[in-house]
Amino acid sequence: MTTERSLLQKIREKELEINIQVYDARREAEEIIARARKDADAILKKAEAEAKTEAEGLARREMETMTGEIQAMRSGGGDEIRTLKEKGGRNLGRAIEQIENDVAPE
């Protein structure tokens, strides 16, 4: 009976050792998962912040480009208007004559 008891005792001790190893492995796995989740959350937050910063920078650069194009159009448009007025002024006399001839021929 003593041998049976010592054999049973050895089995129980081995079972206890295995249960402790399983518990330690489970705890370690949970810690690894928790760290991975924390790291993933930090990566996501960093990516969101970088995306927001980049989007704001892109919007600002595009706005500056559009503002420059608008100013160029405005200044170029003014030059074009002046050119048309000058051409129109030079041709005004001939246009008046043509209208007079068309309306009241001699």
In three-state form (DSSP H/G/I as H, E/B as E, the rest C), the secondary structure along 21-74 is HHHHHHHHHHHHHHHHHHHHHHHHHHHHHHHHHHHHHHHHHHHHHHHHHHHHHH
Using the predicted structure, report yes or no on whether residue 1 has a pLDDT greater than 70.
no
pTM over the 0.85 mark: no
Cα(12)–Cα(29) distance, rounded to whole angstroms?
A: 25
pLDDT digits (tens, 9 = 90+) for 7-56: 889 999 999 999 999 999 999 999 999 999 999 999 999 999 999 999 99
* Residue of 80 and 6 predicted with greater confidence: 6
The pLDDT value given to residue 73: 78
